[in-house]
Amino acid sequence: MTKYLRFLGVYAFAVAAVAGLLLGGAWMWLGFFAIYAGTVVGDALLGDNFDEPAYRYPRLLNSLLYLALPVLALLGLSMAWMAGTGDLLGMGAWAQANLGWDLFARREATAPWHWIGGILSCALTFAALGTNIGHELTHRTTDRAAMTVGRWLLALTFNADFSIEHVYGHHRRLATPADPASARRGEHYYAFLVRSTVGQTRSAAALERQRLETLGHGFWSVHNRYLRGWLMSAAIVAAFALAGGVGAAVVFVLSALAGRTILEAVNYFEHYGLVREPGQPVEPRHSWNSNKRVSNAVLFNLARHSHHHAEGDAQFWQLHSYPEAPTLPYGYLTCMLLVYVVPGWYRDRMTPLLLDWDTRYANAAERRLAASANQRSGVPALQLAAQGH
């Protein structure tokens, strides 16, 4: 039973984010602190989970992904109500009559700076439910419903084109210089953030352009999934503006942008510094793996990343733990926090792990690539190792 229930954990955090927004004031930080405290402390205390249970009801697990839709709708309505004026859909009157919850007073008590916490809470929820589940669903390239829902989930962070770039770009160019979403040795998170964001959207446009040419369509066409993706995000901004005015639209845009940086933080540490010969098979050693219990429960096994890249079409409940794969020093949310707050420290923390990777995991060709990456890294300890090569 717990093997199913654990994937509900992320929804508990999302409910905390919604409750925090509707409580207003300093409570707006509730989602943010609940998620970080829950996952960072949880991973530290509960450790690893290498279980690979068989599931008799995969459809149940599947429906847990789609549960994101109503929960995100609830979050969106709460954002629009609290950032707007008036009484959107009569929510305020309803809460007062049925729950005795005075949303009007809560909104009155919320100052603009309280929204920093609100926006960070929304960004984390967008990343966990939008980006992460959108990622899982858009890997199902032949399932129309999954692709449509997945792309709308990604559009919440202005990133519907991830459904193109990630599957047809990142998975193929993984850990090679051609992949904008693989962090290079010595690269700082904030430098990567810019390079990866720009590089991925350009790559998505180029991939889509090439596909449209192959099919005999022009770039400016209704068949263009890249342009349609941007229109989806524009539609969401417009919906927020209609529901709650400029304030709601601004809160959404800031949450979406902050949520987008979370994806890049995850991209950063998932493959930081790893190298692969272009054209050679993608192996489990080309990702940093994690079997931390809470991270995997909250992120639908995303942290079992070595298997995900070695077999991109495996469903989240089928992912193997690969305990022998190169492993991250901490759980996902912990790594994320470190990457944001102390990016240089995190980079140095990974140096001995990279040197270990070069010795224990790399093949001969990769060792040569790693040596030249070490030389260019600007990290003294890596450069020293390259000289000894």
Partner 1 sequence: MLQSLFKRRAPEPARVTVEPFGWDFEVAPGQTILQAALAQGLPWPSRCRVGSCTTCRCRLLDGEVRSLTDTSYVLSREQLEQRYVLACQSQPQGAVKVHLDRVKATLVADGNGQPVTAAD
CB of 208 to partner 1, least distance (A): 8
Question: Interacting stretch for partner 1, rule CB under 8 A, among 15-23, 120-128, 275-283, 345-353?
Answer: 275-283
Q: With binding defined as CB under 8 A, does residue 207 bind partner 1?
A: yes
| Nearest in space to 234 (alpha carbons), one of 256, 212, 203 | 256
Question: Interacting stretch for partner 1, rule CB under 8 A, among 119-127, 166-174, 336-344, 345-353?
Answer: 166-174
Give the one residue of 172, 228, 349, 368 binding partner 1; rule: CB under 8 A: 172
CA-to-CA dists, residue 30 to 21, 26, 50, 54, 157, angstroms: 8, 8, 31, 35, 21
Per-residue contact string for residues 105-144; x = within reach of partner 1 by CB under 8 A: ------------------------------------xx--
Unique residue bearing structure tokens 């008036």: 86
CB of 204 to partner 1, least distance (A): 11
**Residue 220: what residue type?**
W
Q: In this complex, which beta carbon is closest to partner 1, that of residue 171 or of residue 228? A: 171
d(CA 281, CA 365): 13
d(CA 2, CA 60): 13
Residues in contact with 263: Cβ distance below 8 Å, sequence separation at least 6, in sequence order: 127, 131, 157, 159, 162
CB of 141 to partner 1, least distance (A): 5
CA-to-CA dists, residue 385 to 33, 302, 366, angstroms: 40, 32, 15
Q: In this complex, which beta carbon is closest to partner 1, that of residue 189 or of residue 322? A: 322
d(CA 73, CA 85): 19
Per-residue contact string for residues 313-342; x = within reach of partner 1 by CB under 8 A: x-----------------------------
Q: With binding defined as CB under 8 A, does residue 312 bind partner 1?
A: yes
Residues in contact with 161: Cβ distance below 8 Å, sequence separation at least 6, in sequence order: 200, 201, 204, 205, 208, 225, 226, 229, 230
Residues in contact with 111: Cβ distance below 8 Å, sequence separation at least 6, in sequence order: 25
Q: With binding defined as CB under 8 A, does residue 211 bind partner 1?
A: yes
* Total of chain residues touching partner 1, rule CB under 8 A: 21
Unique residue bearing structure tokens 């693989």: 182
Q: CA 379, 381, 387 angle in degrees (round to 5)? A: 100
Give the one residue of 168, 190, 230, 340 binding partner 1; rule: CB under 8 A: 168
Give the one residue of 281, 364, 387, 388 binding partner 1; rule: CB under 8 A: 281
d(CA 343, CA 158): 24
**Residue 129: what residue type?**
L
Q: Binding to partner 1 (CB under 8 A): which residues in 212-231?
A: 213-216
Question: Interacting stretch for partner 1, rule CB under 8 A, among 2-10, 61-69, 276-284, 333-341?
Answer: 276-284
Q: With binding defined as CB under 8 A, does residue 45 bind partner 1?
A: no
Q: In this complex, which beta carbon is closest to partner 1, that of residue 17 or of residue 146? A: 146
Beta bridge partners of 48: 292
Q: In this complex, which beta carbon is closest to partner 1, that of residue 2 or of residue 214? A: 214
CB of 326 to partner 1, least distance (A): 19
**Burial annotation 170-200 (CB, 10 A radius, 16+ → b, else e):** bbebbbbeebbbbbbbbbebeebbebbbebb
Question: Interacting stretch for partner 1, rule CB under 8 A, among 2-10, 12-20, 111-119, 169-177?
Answer: 169-177
Q: With binding defined as CB under 8 A, does residue 167 bind partner 1?
A: yes
Q: Which residues bind partner 1 (CB under 8 A)?
A: 141-142, 164, 167-168, 171-173, 207, 210-211, 213-216, 279-282, 312-313
